[in-house]
């Protein structure tokens, strides 16, 4: 999920012959309270997070706030500060030059149907279309699965294994 922030941006900028495939498992597109681009984050909250990190309190939680869905949420200062420093829109939701467009390996995107605040089947299809340098970008939807795939672990594993078999064939 959030690992896409760590993996997707470097992958296109440092082509690696050993990179054979990319699997995106529930990469947050609409995650509650998260913004797709750093410029959409509250600058006062960013300043508070940066101050907390600078004072050695990066693991402390920020004050609670309501997310985009109106639910209360909080997270560590260092996590929020890292969002502000990075480009969260790796999928091209708000921009045309997203890192997903430069990945040259096959891409699998999969989501559960019970995680609409993270991503929907329509979002996955859009991301697949944005993977323009990939020889193939496939979407798989797991019926009834939420973001953690609880109770659907075997199905999620099978989706990945079957897709990898297809890619290697």
> What confidence score (pLDDT) does residue 96 get?
76
Q: What is the pTM of this model?
A: 0.70
- Which ranges in the chain are annotated with CATH 3.40.50.1820? 4-31+97-168
Instruction: Give residue-wise pLDDT tens across range 58-112.
Output: 999 999 987 665 667 788 999 888 878 776 778 887 777 788 888 899 999 999 9
The yes-or-no verdict on residue 166 having pLDDT over 60 is yes
Q: Rounded mean pLDDT of the chain?
A: 83
- Domain 4-31+97-168 CATH (choose: 3.20.20.140, 3.40.50.1820, 3.40.50.800, 3.40.50.2300): 3.40.50.1820
> What confidence score (pLDDT) does residue 65 get?
84
Which pair of tokens denotes residue 31?
Answer: 């995650």
Comparing 160 with 65, which gets the higher pLDDT?
160
- Which residues are registered as beta bridge partners of 22? 107
């Amino acid at each position: 999920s959030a690992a896409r922030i760590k993996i997707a941006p470097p992958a296109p900028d440092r082509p690696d012959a050993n990179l054979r495939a990319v699997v995106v498992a529930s990469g947050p597109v609409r995650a509650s309270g998260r913004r797709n681009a750093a410029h959409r984050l509250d600058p006062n909250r960013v300043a508070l997070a940066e101050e907390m990190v600078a004072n050695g309190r990066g693991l402390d939680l920020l004050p609670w706030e309501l997310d985009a869905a109106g639910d209360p949420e909080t997270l560590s200062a260092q996590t929020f500060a890292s969002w502000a420093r990075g480009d969260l829109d790796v999928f091209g939701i708000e921009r045309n030059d997203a890192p997903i467009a430069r990945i040259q390996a096959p891409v699998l995107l999969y989501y559960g149907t019970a995680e609409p605040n993270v991503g929907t089947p329509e979002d996955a299809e859009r991301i697949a279309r944005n993977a323009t340098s990939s020889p193939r970008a496939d979407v798989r939807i797991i019926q009834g699965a939420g973001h953690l795939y609880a109770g659907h672990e075997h199905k999620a594993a099978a989706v990945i294994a079957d897709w990898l078999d297809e890619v290697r064939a």
